[in-house]
Structure 1
């Protein structure tokens, strides 16, 4: 397989990616006045994330409608903390999460949200008291969360960041390393069409994430042996899907497309950022060697150094190496010369589907 490196500096690629989503830029054209304000909330095992947006239509450029982000919120709540051993969401995790959801509700009210999709994923899927927690959220905040299945989660992630896939590639492996699960989606171009979209060919979802792996092996002090054991467990979990995909066509431009805190953190470390900068990370191409060096740099840090790093911080310091181990397993089973980094995914996918259902955006945005 030929090695394909990014053309142009990382900042150029990232700026282009930001323009594709039009985050916080410009005013909707006079030709299209959105009557709806949309919100998407993703409550995962580790994070609570909210995105509020309006559609922005570009009537002269077919298939290039986009989101105009007007507000966002993200907080690490660790909803799944201790879930692997107890089988239940703890009271402390419930209170932390409800506090974050209250902020989300206030933001949605302040922005006049008229259409929303609010979802919960792996922690609520697997917890014995998942439904009970959802009801408590409704009673305390008025928010109605839907627990979505794994296929829906994978589909939303693919919809949200698929625009970043190389349009010249015949196939792409999308992966989303979450707190309690990891989704992989094989995207394939079956035929060229007007908007260059990929087909959702195959997918898998594993009950393996940064929280579950770190709680099992420990995340503060990670020796070479512990890291290897984490990567091996991830590899064993991923192998059946890799075998399924072994005969899928891979052209020289085949690449990985990653969306998660793991890969965005790695990108920030690779760029040497003092503080995380979404504009430089979203859309960044990292070569296989770049990824290896960033992982080695992270593994060389002790816990205190990871806490002090502006792209990691105290809330991710004990989780990031577990994510790196999963990423290593993915790279080993699906070798590719480069990975594109997406600081977008599930929420953007939900927003796009909501807007398309209303006819506010054209398919292919």
Structure 2
């Protein structure tokens, strides 16, 4: 079945929209809303975070109407922040009111499967298998291992926003704060049933990874086409992690390709990527611009 679809991925830091008749994409938008603001500390979605998210959803609803996408071809998927919040019902009701569809607060396992599908479909060069897809979000990180479909997947409650708020409180973070953040990531990896060392290829998706790719390239401005399918030596990734952690937020914002909404939390996300890559033993990282948003869109094809 063909036809135009609209996919929305609502994470801890961003809300993204994709509209298209796949594989052709007509609209790809992203808004930084930091829905997971203070969630790790309070256990609830902050009122100001909800207001930012609802404003973006209202904007997206207008774009979807303008492209005449039927309601039954719209899918709204909410991930880590919405899973964890005590007042998630307020968010769900607000989405339903503004968009006219029922938001799906998916499990970590389903989130992982959608991320894997989105990433793997996009690869132009067939990778050596098994492939480990690493999806670093604001509130959680998914590790998905497989060939054409996931064989194993796990969602860890560590992400760029959550870890930044928990550990990296100084600007720039102190060595003790960085060490505490690394230890937190390592504890989660120690109990993760998906072993990065089993991977022949490591593919990184989502904002932390793509942002790191743009910085590594030294781009004058963010360029999706330049970042997509970029292959980066692992040593270069580790060097960039150290470089970013030594910088202040203002210095990170001065990097031409850095999105200002990621500058504060990128250090924590980079730590996650660095530790996963180190455990994998892979000599390089493949960066994919296609991720869970694309997986959500493809899940609508044939509905």
Cα RMSD between the aligned structures?
1.9
**8 Å Cα contact 2:75-2:101 kept in structure 1:** no
Match of 1:316 in 2: 262
Relative to structure 1, the CA distance from residue 118 to residue 265 in structure 2 (aligned partners, 3 Å threshold; closer, same or farther) is same
- Given candidates 31, 34, 39, the residue that maps to 1:83 is 39
Match of 1:102 in 2: 58
| Bigger CA radius of gyration | 1
Relative to structure 1, the CA distance from residue 166 to residue 334 in structure 2 (aligned partners, 3 Å threshold; closer, same or farther) is farther
Q: Does 1:224 align with 2:169?
A: no
Greater mean alpha carbon deviation, residues 224-233 or residues 86-95: 224-233
Match of 1:53 in 2: 20
**8 Å Cα contact 1:78-1:93 kept in structure 2:** yes
Relative to structure 1, the CA distance from residue 284 to residue 130 in structure 2 (aligned partners, 3 Å threshold; closer, same or farther) is same
Match of 2:285 in 1: 339
Greater mean alpha carbon deviation, residues 336-345 or residues 306-315: 306-315
Relative to structure 1, the CA distance from residue 168 to residue 216 in structure 2 (aligned partners, 3 Å threshold; closer, same or farther) is closer
Relative to structure 1, the CA distance from residue 112 to residue 140 in structure 2 (aligned partners, 3 Å threshold; closer, same or farther) is closer
- Given candidates 302, 306, 326, the residue that maps to 2:252 is 306
Relative to structure 1, the CA distance from residue 175 to residue 255 in structure 2 (aligned partners, 3 Å threshold; closer, same or farther) is same
* CA shift digits 1:14-36 (9 cap, x unpaired): xxxxxxxxxxxxxxxxxxxx862
TM-score, normalising length from structure 1?
A: 0.78
**8 Å Cα contact 1:180-1:210 kept in structure 2:** yes
Task: List aligned pairs for 1:259-270, cutoff 5 A.
Answer: 259-270=205-216
Deviation at 1:200, TM superposition (A): 1.2
Relative to structure 1, the CA distance from residue 103 to residue 247 in structure 2 (aligned partners, 3 Å threshold; closer, same or farther) is closer
- Given candidates 70, 87, 92, the residue that maps to 1:129 is 87
Deviation at 1:125, TM superposition (A): 0.6
Q: Distance between the aligned counterparts of 1:166 and 1:225, measured in 2?
A: 41
* CA shift digits 1:160-191 (9 cap, x unpaired): 01132852512111110001111000113xxx
Long gaps (5+) in structure 1: 1-33, 56-66, 189-197, 359-365
Relative to structure 1, the CA distance from residue 113 to residue 331 in structure 2 (aligned partners, 3 Å threshold; closer, same or farther) is same
> Partner of 2:191: helix, strand, or coil?
helix
Deviation at 1:153, TM superposition (A): 0.5
Q: Distance between the aligned counterparts of 1:257 and 1:77, measured in 2?
A: 26
Deviation at 1:138, TM superposition (A): 1.8
Task: List aligned pairs for 1:167-186, cutoff 5 A.
Answer: 167-186=126-145
Relative to structure 1, the CA distance from residue 126 to residue 168 in structure 2 (aligned partners, 3 Å threshold; closer, same or farther) is closer
Deviation at 1:240, TM superposition (A): 2.1
Q: Distance between the aligned counterparts of 1:111 and 1:322, measured in 2?
A: 37
Q: Distance between the aligned counterparts of 2:113 and 2:98, measured in 1?
A: 30
**8 Å Cα contact 1:283-1:341 kept in structure 2:** yes
Task: List aligned pairs for 1:1-365, cutoff 5 A.
Answer: 36-55=3-22, 67-114=23-70, 115-163=73-121, 164=123, 167-188=126-147, 198-218=148-168, 220-241=171-192, 245=195, 248=198, 254-355=200-301, 357-358=302-303
* CA shift digits 1:285-327 (9 cap, x unpaired): 0011221232233234222111222322321111000001111
Relative to structure 1, the CA distance from residue 167 to residue 276 in structure 2 (aligned partners, 3 Å threshold; closer, same or farther) is same
**8 Å Cα contact 2:218-2:257 kept in structure 1:** no
> Partner of 1:36: helix, strand, or coil?
coil
Deviation at 1:257, TM superposition (A): 0.4
> Partner of 2:286: helix, strand, or coil?
strand
**8 Å Cα contact 2:197-2:279 kept in structure 1:** no
TM-score, normalising length from structure 2?
A: 0.93
**8 Å Cα contact 1:231-1:328 kept in structure 2:** no
Aligned pairs, number: 299
> Partner of 1:230: helix, strand, or coil?
helix
